Chain A
Amino acid sequence: GIQVEQSPPDLILQEGANSTLRCNFSDSVNNLQWFHQNPWGQLINLFYIPSGTKQNGRLSATTVATERYSLLYISSSQTTDSGVYFCGEGTYKYIFGTGTRLKVLA
């Protein structure tokens, strides 16, 4: 089945820094979402982005389906951005990566 790899596994940033998180897929992209799991365990939908680029405030995402990867950009990071970022891909059943654990220091 499809494999989803996320990098880096861990990231520590100073508040205000920018970062790029990556998701690689072993097969063609159908549906793709980025999620943020906050420290309370809630999974918050960030982007549904099977292709192209989207932006929402300080966050943006780009998926290059032909090259089987997606990127999540976080600019001017804040402590509230801390948590784990997951990408999920699939036709209907998502296969999730193992996540990138982000900690933003004040």
Chain B
Amino acid sequence: DAGVIQSPRHEVTEMGQEVTLRCKPISGHNSLFWYRQTMMRGLELLIYFNNNVPIDDSGMPEDRFSAKMPNASFSTLKIQPSEPRDSAVYFCASSLAGDTQYFGPGTRLTVL
């Protein structure tokens, strides 16, 4: 398997622009997670999907962030409008039935 696939790997944008991050989980996995990593806050969960349904979005910072999972093989995390404090590495991870989580390579987002 190719593992968890994320795109883009790097994104540089200007404040106020919309940013869309994409994730393809490992085939057959039914849980998908979006995490954010910053120096100040470390690794923190943003949202968790199970069987394409958002189960816990308590980590989503504010209404500017939204996530969707239209099918079992694709998820998006959108930030609109983006702000400099959103600069971070965003990881997507997937697992089967809450077992081992496998992380994608991450998207490094820089908001100027």
Contacts and interface: CB of A to CB of B under 8 A. Distances in A.
A86 interface: yes
A94 B106 contact: no
Interface residues of A, number: 18
Chain B contact residues: helix, strand, loop or mixed: strand
A98 B48 CA distance: 21
Contacts of B59: 93
Interface in B68-112: 89, 91, 98-103, 105-106, 108
Contacts of A91: 98
Nearest to B43: A96
Interface string B23-45: 00000000101000000001111
Interface stretch (A14-22, A38-46, A63-71, A73-81): A38-46
B56 interface: yes
Nearest to A90: B45
B55 interface: yes
A44 B101 CA distance: 10
A15 to B, nearest CB: 27
Interface of A: 31, 33, 35, 41-45, 48, 86, 88, 91-94, 96, 98-99
